[in-house]
Amino acid sequence: MRSSKFLSSLLLTLLCAFSAHSQTPVAEVREHLGGPILFIDGRPHSAFSTMTYRPQLSDYQELADIGIDLFCFSTSSDHPFYPFAADAWIGPEEYDYSQLDERARQVLEASPETWLLPRVNVAAPGWWLDLHPDEVCVYSDGSNLELSRDYVQDQRAPSMASGLWRDSVKENLGRMIDHIEAQDYGKRVIGYHIASGITEEWMYWGFQSNQLADYSKPGITAFRDWLREKYRTDTVLQDVWGEPSATFATAEVPNATWRNRMDHGIFLNPIQSMRVVDYNLFLSDMVADCISEFARAVKEKTNGTKVVGAFYGYLLEIAWHHHAIPPSGHLAIDKLLRDPSLDFFSSPSSYGARPPGTGFSIFMSLTESFRRHGKLWMDENDYRGFLAKDAKPQHGYVETLDETLALHWRELGNVLTHGAGMWWFNMWGGWYSDPRLLEQMETMVELGKENLELDKDSTAEVAVVVDPLSPAYLGAMETLHSIGLLQYKETWAKFGAPFDLLTLHDYCEGLGNRYKMVV
């Protein structure tokens, strides 16, 4: 054990020495005083940062002036599904990184010594989908268009099961990283936030428009391979599915009627509907495999010197949009927790409980399990304060400065007490352009730094345990279970004692031994 720690320390020292020589920062997440912390060139960092969809020099300058020195911005290594960045892959063997360069340099114009953490959106440009029509995600009605909502007009998406698409993403990520590291701003980039799926948050295509995926050729082939890996023989598959004619070679994705059925109340009967349970689990595995594969590609390309993260694990929140959990792709939490290529995970704070006074701050996932596995949780603080005039009511907009100040204090308390990082999401710009708000945020930045030297270990004596796989046993459009989780959160948040959120797998593996009460 001592030898292993010595070698790790020696490796970090050598990497930092290399960094100082080459001006390439070495970033990692590692244990510090009982919890995972971001380190940049061997120094702990609070991971307090900012993100925006509308880059403006004036916003960057005022946020840099209050001490924020980690900035995130949208870009793409190929094509963003949402219009928050320009296409980089503009044709076969044609690439355009001019917007990426402009956005990175704009941040550094405001603050030359700041660090950069680009959010890299990956999907597939229209010309690529035209060349590879079989790789396009197909929905249960036979269509291949993600229906219009929010920022998306009817649009095609690549099947996440497509090996051809995955290979193109990895190649384009590598090409983009080569470009970045050849630029003057490359020495300020500490990592990459890989984003895809619905709302960039790795929910499977069609999820928020209530479209069931994925009936594409790659989707069917991958499902059959997944079944073969799980059951090994056709005989076992036939027994479990209760279908004498089932084979790995002929198994199909369950149709919408199968996936929407409920056998006993809200539940599927695994004796009758195991094919649906299997498909729900498969869909999440496909999402998790994409995240892992792309993260590993970035780690290999950067020789492990950059942090990599993703949105994932919204088990406690998905029902906020009145969508069901089973087809979301977010059930494979335990799988991603154990992936060494991933350093951080993120979600917004819960949307379901934001009002001042009656609301509360809570994350969307089982964050203690992430922490126990050495993953930094990054809170996307997208609270719509009094300057967010373009906010939608369902996102919790408040109308006064005092309410805005109070909400940010409440959110900070949740972040600090759970050892999380955070970015203030200046979504459309100008959300923080008020002297009192900026003064408060400056104090918060300092508190984040002070918190680095405090014990990060949890003091909770209560554990709330959730099985991420259990929603696979629900009908695809069943929301009662999901809404129940949403409502339970208020009870947990207001019962007056600290609590930890764990996966059932982690609890059964012994991570729950310290608790006096388990829910």
User: What are the residue boundaries of the structural domains of the chain, listed by start?
Assistant: 2-215+253-518
Check residue 166 and give its pLDDT. Answer: 99
Check residue 483 and give its pLDDT. Answer: 62
Check residue 45 and give its pLDDT. Answer: 99
Check residue 2 and give its pLDDT. Answer: 40
Q: Which pLDDT tens digit goes with each residue over 73-105?
A: 999 999 999 999 999 999 999 999 999 999 999
Range 309-320 average pLDDT = 87
Range 486-505 average pLDDT = 88
- Model confidence at 3, in pLDDT bands (50, 70, 90)? very low
Q: Which pLDDT tens digit goes with each residue over 325-376?
A: 889 999 999 999 999 999 999 999 988 788 888 888 999 999 999 999 999 9
Q: What are phi and psi of 423, to 5 degrees?
A: -120, 135
| 349, 379 contact by CB (below 8 A) | yes
Q: Which pLDDT tens digit goes with each residue over 159-181?
A: 999 999 999 999 999 999 999 99
Q: Which of 108-112, 245-249, 361-365, 441-445 is least confident?
A: 361-365
Check residue 393 and give its pLDDT. Answer: 66
Q: Which pLDDT tens digit goes with each residue over 377-391?
A: 999 999 999 999 877
Check residue 19 and give its pLDDT. Answer: 45
- Model confidence at 469, in pLDDT bands (50, 70, 90)? very high
Residue 164, Cβ density class (10 Å: 0-12 exposed, 13-18 middle, ≥19 buried): middle
Percent of the chain residues topping a pLDDT of 70: 91
pLDDT of 6 > 50? The answer is no
Q: Which two tokens stand for residue 16?
A: 């930092």
Q: Which of 47-56, 85-94, 103-112, 395-404 is least confident?
A: 395-404
| 341, 299 contact by CB (below 8 A) | yes
Q: Which of 3-12, 142-151, 237-246, 297-306 is least confident?
A: 3-12
pLDDT of 18 > 50? The answer is no
pLDDT of 218 > 80? The answer is yes
Look at the alpha carbons of 349, 117, 205, 283 in this order and tell me if their dihedral is positive or negative: negative
pLDDT of 26 > 90? The answer is yes
Q: Which pLDDT tens digit goes with each residue over 107-160?
A: 999 999 999 999 999 999 999 999 999 999 999 999 998 775 666 667 899 999
Check residue 195 and give its pLDDT. Answer: 98
CA distance between the termini of the chain: 35
pTM value? 0.94
Q: Which two tokens stand for residue 368?
A: 């203690």
Distance CA 28, CA 41 (A): 9
* Cα→Cα distances 418→68, 89, 218, 246, 377, Å: 20, 39, 40, 48, 9
Adjacency order of strands within the sheet including 517-518: 499-503, 462-466, 517-518
The fold of 2-215+253-518 is TIM Barrel (3.20.20)
